[in-house]
Structure 1
Amino acid sequence: MTLTQKALAHATLYPLWLDNPAAPETCPHLVGAREADLLIVGGGFTGLWAAIIAKQRDPQREVVIIEAGKVAHGASGRPGGIVSTSVMHGLVNAERVFPKDIEMLEKLGIDNLDSWRETIESFGIDADLEWGGEMTVAVRKDDLPELRREHQLHMGHGHDVAWLDKAQVQAEVASPLFEAGIWSKERTGTVQPAKLAWGLKAAALSLGVTIYEHTPMEEVEDLGSKLRIRTHDGVITAPKVLFATNAWCAGHKKIKNYVVAMRDRVIATEPLSDEQLSRIGWTHRQGIYDTRTQLNYMRLTKDNRIVYGGRIGYYYGDKTDPEGDRKIEVYDRLAGYFFKTFPQLEDVKFSHAWSGPIDLTTRLAVHFQPYYGGKGVYAGGYSGFGVTASRFGARLGIEMLDDTGVPELDLGLANSLPRPIPREPFRWPGAAITMRALDEVDDKGGWRRAWVKMVHAMGFPL
């Protein structure tokens, strides 16, 4: 057996975050007919935040969530759980997509993160929240100019961000790959995402929100003044519906024109001993992203496991729970990246391996699709950066449904769409070639660089 095969031999193919005794009891599923003032389809971060915000604004409002499975068991219980201020997948992406709106987007990001934290604290949600910061590390000397530009961009917008040369970044986290880094210290850190979702669920219930789990939406009917949502065993009628359906894109057939359901693979080690942890340092416990073309991210958990992820993939037909990701060999390449990053941890074993759906768009940030004469709105497209931005997406989705006229609705982020993406059968061959190029471009170059450059030019910022 190879090193990676041995390390993965006893891994559980299930998310670490969800394998937790803190998991709450599920709510009953919907049977029969009922009405609501606001119906939210989807019990992930966006849906839970939307329900809390709507109920806090109007305690008399009848707010209902329906979730096809169990709360947190979709994308919300599967990410790395790195907390970030940006609502735009980072400053570089904001500059790329909405350069004229950066100042407003930066302010909205700060306000959103502060409100996100305030809600967690006010409801006493225990989600293993740590504020160690967020680091981006260069893994090749060729990446240093771009990292320098990113550092200057953050400095120019008032961020508390430090440049770390090779010696300094190695002093923070010892990896032979790390050439330099930038460390954002304000409003950034890590969270246990499933515990956050479960805490938000409890908060929503305490406010009087009704939640139905194991209640998949099967049909939407436009009645003129209201929408009728049929589920497996019931029906709900409501004048306003938020489709918080992430990569599932449920709610209208056109949603998938702008969203691709990608797969993000993640592995988690067994808890590191104090001696093992001393080999790498990491005393400030930052969340980390690297500059590989096929990006990797990493962070520490409360019990000192390393969660390491980022090798994305795609399955034909936008599958959100593919059988292929239930095979341990799928995670072998990712484990190989882990040991290249931390060769001094060759004695570490992996306890969990899992994948999760990412609602990828060409914008790499939340967008909004209104349907049914504005009675229904889809909010999604976080592209893997929705742990905090989902609150922002939820709030703007409610503002849009309620037609509040807040200034944020005039921003391009709120009133424009990402570039459309070809549907199947064209998605799969393009995605397959792109995934292979991303996996190999850093080591082999050649046609892979030309392909990635072409994909960038088409509007897909990989």
Structure 2
Amino acid sequence: MTSLATRALNDVTLFPYWLDSPDAPATEPQLIGRSEADLVIVGGGFTGLWASIIAKEANPDQDVVLIEAEKIAYGASGRPGAIVSTSVMHGLHNAVRIFPNDLDQLEQLGHRNMEGFLDTIKRHKIECDQEWNGELTVAVGPENVPVVQEEYDLHVKHGHEVELLDAEAVRGHLNSPLFHGGLWSKKNSGTVNPAKLAWGLKRAAISLGVRLYEECPMKRIEDEGSYLRVVTRDGEIKTPKVLLGTNAFAVGHKKIRSRIAMVRDRIVMTEPLSDEQLARVGWKNRQGVYDTRTQLNYMRLTKDNRILFGGRLGYFINSPRDPELDRTTQPYERLAGAFFSTFPQLEDIRFTHAWSGPIALTTRMAVHFQSYYDGKAVYAGGYSGFGVSTSRFGAEMGLAKLNGEDRPELQLEFARTMPNKIPPDPFRYIGAQITMYAMDTADAKGGWRNLWLKAVTKLGFPLT
């Protein structure tokens, strides 16, 4: 399998498929000199883009500035698998784990968020290859069928339109010898092209009058009492309010990183499948798919019938923006091997792109909010995946906290609390390396690996 994976990665482009596109818009100029604004948003990923649109549509006279350190979508938002769902807490099972008392309200907020997501796409005519075919959770091996059954019961209890699939039925949807059962969630979930979505949101923000600056890294924030001074590489902005949409990069205050760890999530993308190759795997309903492996894998189809396959995590000490290792094929070989174990009938396929993207891992595994500078700045982030649609929710709630709005949802536990702190490097790095190794080998070897993962789960990270 290793030689097959290595061969399939020959001539791969180590750059995100989504961003390798002629549709990329021109880059906006950076900020030069001094300026003032009613609101500054730091980070031009999904959180920042959604926030700029929500703020401007709520108050068109408000002067909103959005600054991005690189290009729009080049940080994390142009790199995910982009399977979209209604959950705003990293899935229903995770919501039960962290906020059981608020579950009904969180479900309502998730559906409301998806309505806003779809409405924005429609009103601003954003074409992002959207397909609303649902999500499929698949049981890898018979031992994981009870996990899918539990998910099914939970979704039915909370009114989701779902279908439970046995081994034969799930392979009728997506043909893999590994799949022994599945859960098809049918409503308000699907897939998008994340780069096209981000570029469409960029266009919408500019059309609303947002002042958007790219290649404009923030250097620091200075607290001047009644206002903040956001200092960039070539300029500065005086403002009473700052929303920090910096997620895994944790830019804006040195304490943000104490609660999040930047973890790299790897992805490989195949060449377009021929009709005959596609027939080998089925996938007529084209759902986004998650499996139940300890080192979870997810997969989806693109508009031109490529298979995106992702999910092997890695951690780098001190969280570099662009790890050198991930610019080599080595970290993708195990992921490619998992692909061919999943789809052995596609031995003749090759990968065209491989890349990694940063996710903000927390003990909550879901969005949270941190306030700084006496409430004049709010960080909204920590999505730990599921961020394409949840980032809209994070932006909306982050703005509401920043503005001091009296909303009932801000009284819920998710808005009033933060995830636990995580030990700093090098302890974080050591723990991460042991955990990643255990996740890679637990399904095959068990033993101490399962005990370690259970211990990490008790600390707050739901790895088992």
TM-score if structure 1 supplies the norm length? 0.99
1:319, distance to aligned residue in structure 2 (A):
2.1
Give the aligned partner of residue 80 of structure 2: 79
State the Cα deviation string for residues 177-197 of structure 1 (Å, max 9, x = none). Answer: 000000000000000000000
**Match for residue 271 of structure 1?**
272
For residues 293 and 128 of structure 2, the distance between their equivalents in structure 1, rounded to whole angstroms, comes to 29
1:341-371 Cα shifts (integer Å, max 9, x gaps): 0000000000000000001111010000000
Shift of 1:258: 0.4
Partner amino acid, structure 2, of 1:325: D
- After TM superposition, the structure 1 = structure 2 runs for residues 221-236 of structure 1, keeping only pairs within 5 Å, are 221-236=222-237
Instruction: Report the alpha carbon displacement of residue 241 of structure 1 after superposing the two structures with TM.
Output: 0.1
**Secondary structure in structure 2 of the residue aligned to 1:30:** coil
Q: Conserved in 2, the CA contact under 8 Å of 1:261 and 1:320? A: no
> After TM superposition, what 4+ stretches of structure 1 lie above 3 angstroms from structure 2?
none
Shift of 1:327: 0.6
Q: List aligned pairs for 1:305-320, cutoff 5 A.
A: 305-320=306-321
Distance 1:238 1:279 in 2: 57
In structure 2, the gaps of 5 or more residues are none
* 1:57 match: 58
Question: Displacement, 1:164?
Answer: 0.4
Matched, 1:177 2:178: yes
Alignment of 1:345-384 (within 5 A): 345-384=346-385
CA deviation after TM superposition for structure 1 residue 320, in Å: 2.8
What CA distance in whole angstroms lies between the structure 1 residues aligned with 2:126 and 2:459? 42
- Total equivalences in the alignment: 462
Could you report, residue by residue, the CA deviation over 1:177-231 in whole angstroms, capped at 9, with x for unpaired residues?
A: 0000000000000000000000000000000000000000001100111110111
In structure 2, distance between residues paired with 1:219 and 1:458: 33
One-letter amino acid of the structure 1 residue matched with residue 342 of structure 2: T
Give 2:189's aligned residue: 188
Write the mapping of 1:252-263 to structure 2, written as runs, cut at 5 A. Answer: 252-263=253-264
* Partner SS, residue 284 of structure 1: coil
Q: RMSD between aligned alpha carbons?
A: 0.7
Q: What are the within-5 Å matches in structure 2 for residues 48-447 of structure 1?
A: 48-447=49-448
Tell me the CA shift for residue 439 of structure 1: 0.4
Partners of 2:78 and 2:36 in 1: CA distance:
29
1:394-428 deviation line (CA, Å, top 9, x unaligned): 00011011111111110111110001100112110
The separation in 2 between residues aligned to 1:208 and 1:178, in whole angstroms, is 49
Q: Aligned AA for 1:396?
A: M
What is the alpha-carbon distance in structure 2 between the residues aligned to residue 374 and residue 72 of structure 1? 27
Structure 2: distance between partners of 1:320 and 1:266: 17
User: Which amino acid in 2 is paired with 1:421?
Assistant: I
SS of residue matched to 2:236: strand
Give how far 1:457 is off: 1.1
CA distance, structure 1, for counterparts of residue 259 and residue 384 of structure 2: 12
Matched residue type, 2:310: G
Q: Hey, what's the Cα distance between the residues in 1 that align with 2:32 and 2:19?
A: 27
User: Which residue number corresponds to residue 4 of structure 1?
Assistant: 5
> Any conservation in 2 of the 1:116–1:388 contact (CA below 8 Å)?
yes
Task: Give the Cα separation in 1 of the matches to 2:328 and 2:207.
Answer: 40
Residue 21 of structure 1: aligned partner = 22
Structure-2-length-normalised TM-score: 0.99
Identity of aligned residues (%): 60
Contact 2:38 2:62 in 1 (8 A): yes
